[in-house]
């Protein structure tokens, strides 16, 4: 069914020269993404440098994106953190901005138990009427949400999907096999989009779609119409992009690539630093090879 389409983009946050949110650049970025295959926007996720954005900045960004998109695609707000109480309050504030759904990342740093994960996500889900996307990304949070915990949460009425970035295809397959009807699994890693689709996933929450969105949409559509050889060939062709955009701390490679493509998105906030000359040359080569 793909509630949020096949290709959702974890959108970078454009900044001006003073590293404040640039809403005009945000509009141009949205136009670029929607014209190259993006079906939904995830705003203020990790790729959007959410740890460096204040709550006020995030809410202003949600409001602006919702207003500018004007129904052209679904807008999913990243509202989770490792503080349950503040995440509840922020999620309720985000709901008032008109976003279509919310995404809750697994609570990072605290390294809670599976029961703690369940109770955290349950409390957040019960605090909002919006559809919920869970986000499991153990490489960043230091905790993996097991298939059993995800399936437990999937029974909650507004928990509708998970962005699975564990890289564990066995775990992902178990979720897909045992999920209640209507619960969907999105790949959280560009590089395993096609394998996840092949075991029953519905799509991807992508970073690479900033750069190769049209090709990714082509790959996904080829898979779903049974052109498996074509889909596999596109996957192999795009793999250097998938990997290259994480060759140094994300979203620096993606913002660098967008600038080189003529889509202005500005710099990054500390503790991230701009790409070095060597890194910029690497991105230039990556884009040239994919041209």
pLDDT digits (tens, 9 = 90+) for 214-245: 999 999 999 999 999 999 999 999 999 999 99
Q: Quick: pLDDT tens for 157-167.
A: 999 999 999 99
pLDDT at 6: 98
Tell me what the pLDDT averaged over the chain comes to.
Answer: 97
pLDDT at position 1 over 70? no
pTM: 0.97
User: Hey, what are 253's tokens?
Assistant: 């490679």
Residues annotated as catalytic (active site), given as ranges? 135, 163
Percent of the chain's residues with pLDDT above 70: 100
Query: Could you tell me if 210 and 258 are in contact, meaning their C-beta atoms sit under 8 angstroms apart?
Result: yes
Q: What is the C-alpha separation between 280 and 291, in angstroms, rounded? A: 17
Say yes or no: domain 7-230 is CATH 3.20.20.70.
yes
Query: Could you tell me if 176 and 201 are in contact, meaning their C-beta atoms sit under 8 angstroms apart?
Result: yes
Q: Quick: pLDDT tens for 274-289.
A: 999 999 999 999 999 9
pLDDT at position 290 over 90? no
Q: Quick: pLDDT tens for 194-220.
A: 999 999 999 999 999 999 999 999 999
Rounded to 5 degrees, φ, ψ at 109 are 70, -40
Q: What is the C-alpha separation between 104 and 162, in angstroms, rounded? A: 9
User: What contacts 277, CB < 8 A, 6 or more positions away?
Assistant: none
Q: What is the C-alpha separation between 17 and 32, in angstroms, rounded? A: 21
pLDDT at position 291 over 80? no
Task: Average the pLDDT over 121-133 and give the result.
Answer: 98
User: Hey, what are 105's tokens?
Assistant: 């990342």
Q: Quick: pLDDT tens for 36-46.
A: 999 999 999 99
Query: Could you tell me if 103 and 138 are in contact, meaning their C-beta atoms sit under 8 angstroms apart?
Result: no
Percent of the chain's residues with pLDDT above 90: 98
Q: What is the C-alpha separation between 135 and 186, in angstroms, rounded? A: 10
User: In the Cβ-directed half-sphere of 156, how many Cα atoms lie within 13 Å?
Assistant: 26
pLDDT at 2: 85
């Amino acid at each position: 069914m793909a509630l949020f389409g096949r290709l959702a983009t974890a959108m970078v946050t454009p900044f001006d020269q003073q590293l404040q949110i640039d809403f005009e650049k945000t509009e141009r970025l949205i136009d670029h993404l929607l014209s190259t295959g993006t079906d939904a926007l995830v705003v203020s996720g990790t790729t959007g440098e959410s740890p460096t954005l204040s709550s006020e900045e995030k809410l202003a960004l949600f409001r602006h994106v919702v207003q500018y998109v004007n129904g052209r695609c679904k807008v999913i707000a990243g509202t989770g953190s490792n503080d349950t109480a503040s995440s509840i309050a922020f999620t309720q504030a985000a709901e008032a901005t008109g976003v279509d759904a919310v995404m809750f990342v697994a609570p990072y740093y605290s390294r809670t138990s599976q029961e703690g994960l369940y109770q955290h996500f349950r409390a957040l889900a019960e605090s909002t009427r919006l559809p919920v996307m869970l986000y499991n990304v153990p490489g960043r949070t230091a905790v993996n949400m097991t298939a059993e915990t995800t399936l437990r949460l999937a029974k909650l009425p507004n928990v509708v999907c998970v962005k699975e970035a564990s890289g564990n295809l066995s775990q992902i397959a178990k979720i897909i096999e045992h999920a209640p009807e209507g619960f969907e699994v999105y790949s959280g890693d560009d590089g395993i989009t096609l394998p996840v689709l092949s075991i029953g996933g519905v799509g991807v929450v992508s970073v690479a779609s900033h750069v190769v969105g049209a090709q990714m949409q082509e790959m996904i559509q080829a898979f779903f119409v049974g052109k498996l050889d074509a889909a596999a060939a596109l996957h192999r062709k795009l793999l250097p992009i998938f990997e290259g955009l994480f060759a140094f701390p994300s979203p620096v490679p993606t913002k660098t690539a967008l600038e080189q493509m003529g889509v202005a998105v500005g710099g990054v906030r500390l503790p991230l630093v701009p790409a070095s000359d060597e890194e910029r040359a690497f991105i230039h080569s990556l884009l040239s090879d994919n041209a």
